[in-house]
Structure 1
Amino acid sequence: MKKTIIITVILFIAVIAATIYLFGDFNKNNKQDSKALQYLPENTLAIASFTNDQTVDTIFNDYELFKAIIGQQNFSHLKRLKEDLLQNDQLAPLVDGQQILLSFHQEKEQITPLYSVQVGQSLDDKTLATLLGNVGKNYKIQPFDTLGHRFYGLNQGTKDSTLYCSYFHEIIFASYSKKVLAQIFDKNVKKINTKQIEFFVNHNNKNTPLSLYFFNEQLSQFARILMKSKFGNYLGLIDSLKGQTSWNMNFKKDAFIFKGETALTDSKNSYLQLFATQTAQVQALGNYLPKNAASYIDFSISDPHSFRSGLKALFLQQKEDSRLAKSIKNFEDDSQVSFDSIIAPIFNDEFALAELDNQDAIGLISISDSTQFADNLKKFSTAVGDSIYQFKYSNLLYALFGEPFKSFNRPYFTVVDNIMVIASRTGILRDYRESFREKQFLSGTAIFKNHAALQNSRSNVTFYLEPKAGKSTILNNLKTEFAKNFRDEEEYGFQNFYSWSYQLSGNQGSFSSSLYALYKSDTRLGGKPEWAVQLESRIINKPWIFDQDGKNKFILIQEQDHTVHAFSPDGKELWQNLFQGEILGEPIQLQDLSIIAVTKNRLYRFMPDGKNMTGFSVELPSKATYGATLANFNKEQRIYIPATDRILAYTLAGKKVEGFENNSVDGRIIFDLKTTTLGQTNYIIAGTSTASVYFFDQNGKIIHKKTLDTDGESVKNPIGLMAASDEKNSFIYLADNKGSIFKVPFEGDAKKIKLGDWSRDAFFNFEDISGGADRDFVILSKNKLNAYSARDSSSYFEYKFYRRCQQQTLVF
């Protein structure tokens, strides 16, 4: 799986698009059907078509994407060649407004271009020789004959600088390779057939800068030229794909966008053809990928029955059916459960395969029926601990979904939010669960958001790659020459392409297809910073803004090695200190401008200049699970810290307040502690994972405890506090995992309020969003955002996102 189809697409489109500006222009109102197609060899890798017109200079002038791909020096050389030849006074009148084809051909271990330029009138050999002789003083013309045709060599006087030309049927053919040019006239070389030419011509959009054609079966051959080793799972999917593709370019200053049609011919043995009869679906699994995902391929189906029928026919053709039937029979004999009628419907219509930046692989499968899944879980898997399971039987996922899961024989898996995540090792899944718990998703990055806005939201197959994250994999698999160019950031700009994607959507047996490449931009989200600082490792917390001296602000951040940095608003580093652990929750700034921060093992209080106050830092006797809460009881400020199943208390001088940690709670205290004073009583309130609410007094003594009925399920969201003037009208709010809120009074019985249905991964918060005196319920579940009044449970609004959203912290 360490080979990515997008690597092929990147360099494939790169080489083609890079030459457009140099050798052709376009006229959207005067495209012609090309005659040159019938002379091109059948094994042509790809063809770009455009019209020679001066208009291109105003559109593609200084088009940075081309320079990034072919290199600054090559761009300058080819631009001069264009000016000397196509724009020469002698040749320009004959080729202005005419059709140009730029085709690419394999020659040993390299790719060689061939130019086919239609001429506006017939020319004899004498006229052509005279014409070429007057093209320019920088070239030496060398005529010679081969295959019964007159060839001309245009030599600039340096090694490998000769451009070979020949004229045939009102077309000038030119290449830097005599061998490639000779294929045009060699009758023993099979040419492109009539049906392929008709497909290309019929899909040639006259309102686009260029059209791009390629033969699907040549994609794998193109990849073999670029890569130094065998295909992995990604590229293996295209190895048997036949037919042809026609794309048209949508011009965008900071992105490559190609859209068009992909026809399938003799592709019955191809896995991808199973999706040609499906219809495009909204794909959501990309939103569940961890932040360190380098590439993925997402599949979605609209008709599971036809997909599974087609998959079984494919297994039969590939002679895999008997092996898979044996695995299924073993399962059915042991479990007495039908694989097709019980197990298959458990899973939904979307599945994905991803490669991480460390080259580990994970798979994701959407679960459609969580109840059926839970009922049958033990029949096909065994628990191995930490919410991780392993399949008892081999090849079950391969039988269900085909080629993407062929390498997962008896994988391990875990389940999050009705998504099965699979891997070959338990450690990969533990890392994933940690990323999921911390909401460290690829979809939360600026690159992914910008790319999602660029590409189609509906598809059947989506390939996605971030070259920076997958850099080591790309370099390891490219041959030395291509790897050198990819690495060279001064001459080339491959590193400035942030992301690539390739999409296929079923279209009654063929595909609507498209390619997107996002280039660096100053106008996009996260595009151009006011200033930037290079740190040693990644930032693990959001930036915090604090007062520096009552007039000025400063920015506080912490990186992965737990170093804390302070920056001025203009990016100047003020100081840095190494903390013992990650800062939990939110640091608190006091009136004297000192800042209180908590890590798992220590309590800090420091000034804006980074210096610890006397008595700090303080070692904690128990591990903290969230940040501190500051309360002022009886004119004395105290610091309260949740520490798993107990509360720690300290004075502002860092002295421990005895007694609190002796009163443990059941379960784990979730998020922060709440404090309030009602009447003569000072309250400290803690909510636990076991759905209990504890009311302590200021000395750590339990006043009372409320245990709520959540059907045995733990809870994971913060509690909310609505404090009035007395206990009777003050409440704690706690959300379960099924759409209900518990309203817990300081005195009396709790009340359960049903608001709706939401997923177990739903996020609940209690904030004022209506501008009134009361706070409100805010629930984010899957792709829905809801807000309700805490007073009467009425709905303020509901918003449905196209894509699944994650819990985010907004920083302004």
Structure 2
Amino acid sequence: MSLVMRKIYITLALLILGVAGMAYLYFSTLMKDSNNNDHALYTVVNSAPVIFTFENDKGFYDILSKQEVTTELLGTEKSQLLKTLKSAIVDNSGINNWIEGKKVILGFLPGQNNTVDFAIAVQLQNMDVNEASLKNLKAEIKKEGNYYELKFGDTAKCYLSLKNQAIFISNSKQGITQINAAKNTESDFADYIKKNSRFAKNTLANIYVNYGQLPSLLKNILNSTLTGELSLFNKQNAYAALSYNFGSDKLLLNGYTEVNSETNFFKLFADQKEQKVSIDQCFPEQTANYTLFTIEDYEKWSKALKNLQKENKEEDKINKQHQEINEQYRIKIEQSFPVYFNKQLAVLQLKTGEKIGVVDIKNGDKLEQFLLDLSTEYAPEIRIFKEPHLLGNFFGEPFKKFERPFFTIIDNHFVVANYASTLQVFLNSYRGNKLLVSTNDYTYFKDQISSSATIAFYINRDNSSDIFSKNLRAPYYKQYQSKNGVKDYNAFGYQLSADNGKFLSNVLLLKNQTTNTIDSLKY
């Protein structure tokens, strides 16, 4: 190689190293600035599984003041404190210029003694806010360590911290202490919020949920563990990004729910096209809650279920059981439910707490014949399985609670329960046309939400009263029963519709309608 060529190569190498070095410095500085600019967000998400964000804009507060849902959900005490803070900060021109036009982050986090605290955070950026500036708040200010206690009047009290060009406010000492202790570390949830906030610029407010951390918040609200119908909220590796829509008679959220784990049961439905929901047509009128699933392609879905069972080390046990059944009863068990299944299944709970599983089927008479040797007659219309776990083997997690159930088949509905008396309640309601779909409240709920879904959850407030009296801690059950709480709300729904690996989501909390309003809908 000539001396000239060697010099050219050396020069090129130095140029490349120089460019790489400058690029590294540029992007590392950019990332550092970005982390500083998002310090408020990264700090709050470390403690709060539920995040509410909005722009500090007069129009937002004008709309919020015209609806009551925040007061009814949060309770009088926290709502009043938020109103006091709004008056002290937003309506105070000497203070509002700190946060004018900036994003407000409101996080809900677990507190002490089974409470739910909140933390408000705003990234101030390049603004010098100090203790002297706080005097404009017109509050009694007391310095306590690395935070301030603010007292408004005789009762309203909150705690404030200034950190990394961000302002943090909490209703509790523990909340502000937790915020001060939090580090500005990497967070998948914070990154998820940042990514999705780019697509939500035209919405008034947004809610983000980290289902993985949600149990830490719910354990302060519930007496029970997150099993059964509450398993949706139990350590799910999933995030939701939802837009908040205001209304006087409902809370409506729209957006996406994203399941991050491949070994999550709900992930099995991420590529199943939504279906028009019809299975709820047979549910008894005393239904308190239900979870329903639609499966467009059972063969494809079943392969995914088997992969999940393999991952959970259940596959060998299931295969062995099926082989023993095939040999003992001289049938092919794989030709039962997979052959006769008809796209929809559900698990519901009655107001008494009893649980029922329903599977829509084709050719119910043939399936009944197929299952004759596998079951024993208990009553003229009710039989019981001889072998356990069959429904869980074919339909997964929701049906594992029916280990060796009683069953009946009526009008191509395969219905199971752990008690024969529960099935009799179902049959009596069905034949007497005492159904959920015949009630005015459910009719109105269905009118307000999409008729199609891949997965849907529903809670009927009135029918769930006894269940919640056992599951909710006393202060929250009081809020549930209070006229100033959610007593006037009758229905909660959460719909998931598969969309390219994620779920389009609709969340609805609906108020009761007066008789006149409901009657007017009929004409």
Provide the TM-score with structure 2 as the length reference.
Answer: 0.86
Does residue 354 of the first structure (1) align with residue 356 of the second (2)? no
Q: Residue 143 in 1 paired to residue 143 in 2?
A: yes
Letter of the structure 2 residue corresponding to residue 465 of structure 1: I
1:110 corresponds to 2:112:
no
**1:152 corresponds to:** 148
Corresponding residue for residue 94 of structure 2: 90
What is the DSSP-based 3-state SS (H/G/I as helix, E as strand, rest coil) of the residue aligned with 1:468?
Answer: coil
- The 1:317–1:296 alpha-carbon spacing in structure 2 relative to 1, beyond 3 Å, is same
Given that 1:164 and 1:178 are in contact with CA atoms closer than 8 Å, whether structure 2 keeps it comes out as: yes
Q: Does 1:487 align with 2:487?
A: no
Mapped contact 1:237–1:403 kept (Cα < 8 A): no
After superposition, the Cα gap between the structure-2 partners of 1:330 and 1:202, relative to the gap in structure 1 and judged at 3 Å, is: farther
> Is the CA contact (8 Å cut-off) linking 1:141 and 1:152 kept in structure 2?
yes
CA positional deviation for 1:313: 1.9
Q: Kindly tell me: are residues 263 and 360 of structure 1, through their superposed partners in 2, closer, same or farther at Cα, counting changes over 3 Å?
A: same
Distance 2:441 2:238 in 1: 33
Could you report, residue by residue, the CA deviation over 1:615-647 in whole angstroms, capped at 9, with x for unpaired residues? xxxxxxxxxxxxxxxxxxxxxxxxxxxxxxxxx
CA gap 1:73/1:45 in 2 versus in 1, 3 angstroms: closer
Deviation for aligned residue 1:302: 1.5
Question: Structure 2 unaligned runs (5+)?
Answer: 1-36
Mapping of residues 732-771 of structure 1, within 5 Å: none
Give the equivalent residue in structure 2 for 1:58: 62
Percentage identity across paired residues of the two chains: 25
The answer for the alignment partner of 2:210 in structure 1 is 215
Q: 2:136 aligns with which of 134, 141, 152?
A: 134
**Cα distance 1:158–1:189, how it changes in 2: closer, same or farther (>3 A)?**
farther
Cα deviation for residue 191 of structure 1 reads 5.1
Secondary structure at 1:526 match in 2: helix
**1:187-266 correspondence to structure 2 within 5 Å:** 190=185, 192-193=187-188, 195-203=191-199, 205-265=200-260
Query: Does the C-alpha gap of structure 1 residues 523 and 472 become closer, same or farther in structure 2, counting only changes over 3 Å?
Result: closer
Q: 1:530-679 residue pairs with structure 2 within 5 A? A: none
Whether 1:504 and 2:506 are equivalent positions in the alignment is: no
Q: 1:36 to 1:180 in 2, by over 3 A?
A: same
Conserved? CA contact 2:161–2:180, under 8 Å: no
Q: How many Å separate the matches in 1 of 2:464 and 2:192?
A: 35
**In 1: Cα distance, 2:298 partner to 2:275 partner:** 13
Flag the structure with more relative contact order, 1 or 2, with Cα contacts below 8 A and sequence separation at least 6.
2
Residue 179 of structure 1: how far off its partner (Å)? 3.8
SS across alignment from 2:247: coil
Tell me, in whole angstroms, the C-alpha distance in 2 between the residues paired with 1:308 and 1:245.
Answer: 26
How far does residue 307 in structure 1 lie from its aligned partner after superposition? 1.5
SS in 2 for 1:196: helix
- 3-state DSSP class of the match of 2:181? coil
Q: CA deviation at 1:154?
A: 1.4
- The answer to whether the Cα contact below 8 Å between 2:290 and 2:346 also exists between their aligned partners in 1 is yes
Work out whether 1:338 is the aligned partner of 2:332.
yes
Report if the CA contact (8 A) 1:363-1:423 is conserved: yes
Amino acid at match of 2:85: L
- State the shift of 1:236 in Å: 2.6
Checking the alignment, whether the CA contact within 8 Å between 1:327 and 1:393 is kept in structure 2 is no
Distance (Å, rounded) in 2 between the aligned partners of 1:474 and 1:187: 34
* 2:372 matches 1:367: no
Residue 168 of structure 2 is aligned to residue 176 of structure 1:
no
- Measure, in 1, the Cα distance between the counterparts of 2:400 and 2:429: 26
Contact kept, 8 Å, 1:293 with 1:442, in 2: the verdict is yes
In structure 2, C-alpha distance between the alignment counterparts of 1:241 and 1:70, rounded to whole Å: 24
> Alpha-carbon deviation of 1:451?
0.6
The structure 2 residue matched to 1:316, chosen from 293, 300, 310, is: 310
- How far off is 1:510 after superposition? 2.0
Cα deviations by residue, 1:452-489 (Å, 9 ceiling, x for unpaired) = 11111111111111111110101111112212222333
Provide closer, same or farther for how the CA distance between residues 243 and 434 of structure 1 changes in structure 2, counting only shifts above 3 A.
closer
Tell me which residue corresponds to 2:468.
Answer: 474
Q: 2:42, 2:185 within 8 Å by CA — same for their partners in 1?
A: no
Q: Show structure 1 runs of 5+ residues with no match.
A: 1-32, 530-809
Cα separation, 2, equivalents of 1:447 and 1:187: 45
The amino acid that maps onto 1:337 is I
Q: Which is worse superposed, 378-387 or 497-506?
A: 378-387
How far apart in 1 are the matches of 2:183 and 2:101?
Answer: 33
Letter of the 2:325 counterpart: F
Paired amino acid for 1:402:
G
CA distance in 1, matches of 2:50, 2:77: 24
Asked if 1:520 is matched to 2:516, the reply is no
CA deviation map 1:747-782 (0-9, x unaligned): xxxxxxxxxxxxxxxxxxxxxxxxxxxxxxxxxxxx
- The farther-off stretch of 64-73 and 422-431 is 64-73
Shift of 1:284: 1.0
Q: Which amino acid aligns with 1:79?
A: K
Secondary structure of the structure 1 residue equivalent to 2:90: coil
Equivalent pair of 1:163/1:177 in contact (CA under 8 Å): yes
Shift of residue 103, structure 1, vs aligned partner: 0.9
* 1:278–1:508 contact (8 Å) kept in structure 2: no
> Who is 1:573 aligned against?
none
From the two aligned structures, give the one with the greater helix fraction: 2
How far off is 1:196 after superposition?
2.7
Letter in 2 for 1:501: G
> How far did 1:200 drift?
3.5
Cα displacement (A) at 1:506 = 1.6
Rounded to whole Å, the distance in 2 between the matches of 1:527 and 1:392 is: 49
Give the match for residue 9 of structure 2: none
Question: Partners of 2:324 and 2:272 in 1: how far apart?
Answer: 31
1:45 aligns with 49
Give the whole-Å Cα distance in 2 for the aligned partners of 1:527 and 1:518: 17
Q: Structure 1-normalised TM-score?
A: 0.56
> What RMSD in Å do the two structures reach over aligned CA positions?
2.6
Paired AA for residue 133 in structure 1 = K
- CA spacing shift, 1:77–1:171, aligned 2, 3 Å: closer
Partner of 1:186: 181
Give the secondary-structure state (helix, strand or coil) at the position aligned to 1:433: helix
Output the amino acid matched with 2:54.
F
Q: Which amino acid aligns with 2:213?
A: Q
Change (3 A) 1:335 1:343: farther
Q: Deviations over 1:203-222 (max 9, x none)?
A: 4x122221111112123333
Letter in 2 for 1:47: I
The letter for the 2-side match of 1:389 is R
